C-alpha cells in the first residue's frame, strides 16, 4: 500500500541496511542488558536486604534476597531467549 505524503520509500540505501539496523539494535540491547544485570547482581550481592533485617526480621530479609536472586535468574533467561530470537533461533 502506498499512501502519498504518509510513507516514503528510501532510495539509494545500501543493500545491507536491514543487517546494519539489526546489528545496531543487537549491540544496544546487549549493552543495556549487561549494565542492568551487573547493577542488579551487584545489589543482590550487597547487604541491602540485611540492612532491613532488624526491622523486618531475618526471615523476611532472607526471603527478599531469594526473591531478588530469582528475578535475576529470570532476567538472565529472558536475555538468553531474546538473543536466540534475534539470531533467528
Note the pLDDT tens digit of each residue in 37-80: 777 767 666 666 666 666 666 666 667 777 777 887 888 888 88
Which DSSP letter does residue 68 get?
A: H
Would you say residue 19 has pLDDT above 80? yes
Would you say residue 85 has pLDDT above 60? yes
> Rounded distance, CA 28 to CA 81, Å?
16
Q: Which long-range contacts (CB under 8 A, 24 or more apart) does 84-87 make?
A: 86/22, 86/25, 86/26, 86/29
pTM comes to: 0.35
Comparison of pLDDT for 73 and 11, the residue scoring more: 73
H/E stretch holding 70:
helix 58-86
Which DSSP letter does residue 46 get?
A: S
Amino acid at each position: 500500500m502506498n499512501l502519498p505524503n504518509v510513507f516514503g520509500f528510501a532510495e539509494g540505501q545500501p543493500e545491507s541496511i536491514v543487517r546494519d539496523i539489526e546489528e545496531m539494535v543487537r549491540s544496544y540491547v546487549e549493552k543495556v542488558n549487561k549494565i542492568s544485570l551487573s547493577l542488579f547482581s551487584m545489589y543482590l550481592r550487597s547487604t541491602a536486604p540485611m540492612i532491613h533485617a532488624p526491622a523486618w526480621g531475618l526471615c523476611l530479609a532472607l526471603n527478599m534476597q531469594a526473591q531478588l536472586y530469582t528475578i535475576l535468574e529470570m532476567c538472565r533467561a529472558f536475555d538468553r531467549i531474546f538473543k536466540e530470537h534475534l539470531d533467528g533461533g
